[in-house]
């Protein structure tokens, strides 16, 4: 299995961290678990996903995860 690098941005603009995983879904689940977040996620495409915290009542996501090329 090939590991890919993913960058995490807070609110889609400020760099937060990066991690390595085999796919976007596993990367999102790993980030949620590692940070003890209560959140939902949405896979936008094979290279990008969004995480929204449960206490967020706006239409904006809290974190964006994108695959690094």
CA distance readout (Å), 51 to 1, 15, 27, 68: 25, 14, 11, 17
Domain count, the chain: 1
pLDDT, tens digit, 9 for 90 and up, residues 29-52: 999 999 999 999 999 999 999 999
Q: Which residues contact 2 (CB under 8 A, 6 or more apart)?
A: 22
Query: What band does 57 get if pLDDT is binned at 50, 70 and 90?
Result: confident
Q: Return all residues near 7 (Cβ < 8 A) that are at least 6 apart.
A: 15, 17, 18, 65, 66, 68
Confidence at 59, pLDDT banded by 50, 70, 90: confident
Residue 23 sits in which domain range?
4-67
pTM of the model: 0.88
């Amino acid at each position: 299995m090939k590991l890919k690098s993913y960058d995490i941005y807070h609110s889609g603009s400020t760099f937060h961290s990066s991690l390595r995983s085999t796919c976007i879904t596993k990367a999102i689940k790993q980030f949620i678990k590692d940070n003890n977040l209560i959140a939902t996620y949405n896979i936008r495409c094979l290279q990008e996903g969004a995480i929204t915290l449960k206490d967020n009542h706006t239409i904006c996501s809290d974190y964006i995860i994108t695959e690094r090329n």
